[in-house]
Structure 1
Amino acid sequence: MPAQGAPVRVAIVNDHPIVVAGVAAVLEPYADRVRVVEIVAGAEVLSEVEVILYDTFGQDQGDGVDLPTLVDHGRARVAVFSWNTEPEVVERALALGASGYLSKQVTGQEMAWALQQIAAGVVLRPEDVGDCTLPEVGSWPGRERGLTAREAEVLALICAGLSNQEIAERTYLSINSVKTYIRTAYRKIGAGSRSQAVAWAMQNGFRPERVRVLRPSAQDPRSG
């Protein structure tokens, strides 16, 4: 737990730099309560933090998340951040060691509150935070072209070489829903085939990268 009155130290994890930077920006106005000290893409967390916020964009969800590695023998609590809030997916993640599961439809203020609660040892489910009626927060590749978070996620998984069936299994969507997201995403980016979509995506932020940004410790009131 953080020292009394000190902000919760948080690391944000995902393989796409645009995604982690977008989530960090959402939390920036609440730095007096939640301080993002590290954003990580494709690497392990190095900083001493109370909570690791795992963003599922283009990544495993539910029981596919490598929670034992993220939790690191109790070094930090893990909050899964996803737009997939099916009860069975949430419960599997919690059973594997997650301390909270947040919907991407929370506001920045709700997210900051939730991370404080998780740092204090409270286990949170999506229904415990907000009413989930707002658009997804943060950012993702292709948003400037009008891609929704779901469309962008499916496109990222296509770039990873997954078939439509594998995407459905990874995202817990029906195969028909996956095909619909593919069709609407292709229309927005002007792609007529899978190879054209991959070529466009690789040039527009969908390539996973290894990036680490450590926030200066001098900004942390506990750094002395």
Structure 2
Amino acid sequence: MKIYKRFLDGMPEYLARYYWWAYLWQKSVWFFDHQPIINAILFGQYKKLMQLTMQQLEHTDHTRVLQLTCVYGMLTPKLIEKIKPSPLHITDVAPVQLRLAASKAAPASSLIKTRMNAEYLGYKDNSFTTTILFFLLHELPIEARENVLSETMRTLSDGGTLLLTEYAELPKKHFLYWFFPTRWITTKLEPFLNDFWHENLTKKLNIQAAKHGKQASLISHTDIFSKFYRVTTYKINKR
């Protein structure tokens, strides 16, 4: 029996198959949720990425904020502190990740957690004023990525904000890309990253937004680490 099949219960097949070792195995959850590990994975850029993400929240409506899927590190408690007294909504398909997020929330009432697949959210249309996607999209197969973007557009209110922190578009000139060993390792660990690198995210986002009578306008974009990462903010409005 293949190891990943032990983690299939209630999980998307791609998540169990390709990421069980990073997000679903209890021992790995403990291991990866340490600052030096997270920083190493992001080539020393974690602090800068998180700081810039938090800065973008200065200009958003904190009435109903959704963090779409859990992340390692201090992002969740910092978001809780930033938007209080409003609670932070967070959803993830993996119970082990939700437990980890809850352990960082004090008091418990500051975090409203739900278990959902990000492709098929149970929230009503226009539920949130701000949604944060922190290094989620590149970990999704193309169809799943389109579904998540569609659900994100559906659940964001008119005038709402989408905040994306991600890999940048294809970084052809970056040494981590043109140096074959690092590109090979990165794409082996992140099997859907190469497709994501080649996508026009603004165009794809608006294709999904149009399905819900909305449009996404780019209002802020910052490249980080010589255009290897990005922090991008979109304003969502009715068409």
TM-score by length of 2: 0.32
TM-score by length of 1: 0.33
Larger fraction in strand:
2
Larger fraction in helix:
2
